[in-house]
Chains A and B, each alone.
Chain A
Amino acid sequence: MNLAAATNENLANISNTLIYSSMAVYTLAFFAHIAEWVFGSRSKVGRTAAALKKDSSTAASPVMVRAAQAGGTTVLERPKVVTRSAAGTRDVPDGPGAAGGTFKGDLWGRIAVSLTVVAFAVQAGGVVARALSVQRAPWGNMYEFSITFSTVAVGAYLTLLALRKNVRWIGLLLVTTVLLDLGIATTTLYTDSDQLVPALHSYWLWIHVSTAIICGAVFYLGAVGTLLYLFRDSYENKIASGGTPGKFATSVMERLPAAKSLDTFSYRINAAVFPLWTFTIIAGAIWAGDAWGRYWGWDPKEVWSFITWVAYAAYLHARATAGWKGRKAAYLALAAFGCWLFNYYGVNIFVTGKHSYAGV
């Protein structure tokens, strides 16, 4: 069988066009997000300071009142649940988001999200066309890995949005990094579509690599949350200790969710993905057992997957260890994501091992 004939040049070209088009649309989304931030900056929001001042007088007051059952005419009859944060944590309300509660900002934000949805659809089309052109999973080399990676990251973000989670604050950063990722993918990492070497022929390719990509993409969202948590936390600390942050910092930070919310966000993301990452490594080990005769051989890629795994485990431990919660745990989470990134870029480029046929 001449497998080369299976590679459909036409589809490959369509895929490339779609990827370039999605970059164009992402660029528009990027500018719309910028507009959202710019118009949002006109709103005056200074709830953090107010909350922190109140916080010092009455320790841990209830932050949120939620009707047990929303709507209905008998709301008043129903018991209401009062929640309060655990002792020792600050009660700071979440910021209103990039739009800052302004109409214009919100409009631009919605435009940005809509454009992101369009770009995502186009990009996903590009990935699918690529897959069809090679008649296999679209992750046989770093180019394909990169385009799939950012598609999944945006997909995860849009899913969270669709589930009505408060995640629009990620928008600008996400779109920026997706553009970067696609830029690198189409320029330096580009590889013409083609078949795989025999070593990659296995259904484990589907399982192992797809979960690896999903993990990375979602870990990325967690890492963004962690990073913003660190900034927002310093901001809150500064205010709590009587300082006055700069104007720009205030404008940006006030609109982000509270440090505590950001921290919870990234914890949930990381904790949710950790079992999947564990599975990814195990699936890789099973595949390695089939392909190379040993399920674990300390190949650089394996080593870095292991390091990443241990680093995330350390992060989860830190969250449960007094004295390590908060910022220290956040640094661990960032280091863990750094390990993931290095495993993806660094190991493929700088280190040679059995995994290096990925066609850099």
Chain B
Amino acid sequence: MIRVSGLTKEYGIRRAIDNITFEAEQGEIVGFLGPNGAGKTTTMRILSGYMPPTEGEATVAGFDIVSESIEVRRRVGYLPETVPLYSDMTVFDYLKFMADLRHLPNAEERVDDALEMVGMEERADGYIGKLSKGMRQRIGLAQALLHRPEVLILDEPTIGLDPGQVVEVRNVIREIGRERTVLLSTHILSEAQQLCDRVLIINKGRIVAEDTPENLQASLVGAERGVLRVRGEIDGLIETISKIKGISNVQPKEDDVLEFQFAPGQDVRAEVARATVKAGYDLLEMRPIGMSLEDIFLQLTREESAETES
């Protein structure tokens, strides 16, 4: 559905993206993960037909993004990062306008459907200028869904939403991703983990890693970490926990908190809990610590610079 090969974009002398190559199939949700300024938005803008690349080729839904730009734009639903909306229009008028530009038959029905998908039916007659950030985000998403596009390109779709809305929007995306192609960008690892079939990590305009979220995490994380909190002082427990098979590197973090490492895929929680209670402590909390995007990121970029040095 999306085929990108050797895509490069230069702004003056600055290279925003450098020789990016990837593919995304129908029924797949692909996530772009990376820090600000990594080139996520530039790549998405090129694929949505907003601007041509300096070098390289890409096809979306079988059409070339430069020579058949209009055909590409007909088939893509795009939510830009800044969520531009006409604040002087009502929600309904705005979506009707966008539907008319796409020559949709029964445009009003489509608008109602899209509003329902993002849970904004009740605000149809309100002015866009009066909406909160989260609502604007949802209207932007409704706009991208209007024509039931084959390919959905979403630049930071859940940014600015409250937790309840984040869950709703993710459900909408997951629903669409079943039959269509979704390319979304995020800098939240847990979001990529929950939503994406595949993740592309992008840094300084290059793709530095590409895999399923699980594999990425597993390959990068040598050991998993867990946190244990009990009532009272924890010092006496350190030795007991250290003795459990598979656990290493037990460190006290606070008076009542300790952190331990264990091999990935090995569930030690039951044993830790038993040992804690057996030693006469009240177990208050135990949870795994996932690796954050920042950790993964630092590790990847460190590996990359090590490679170039050797």
**Genuine A/B complex:** no
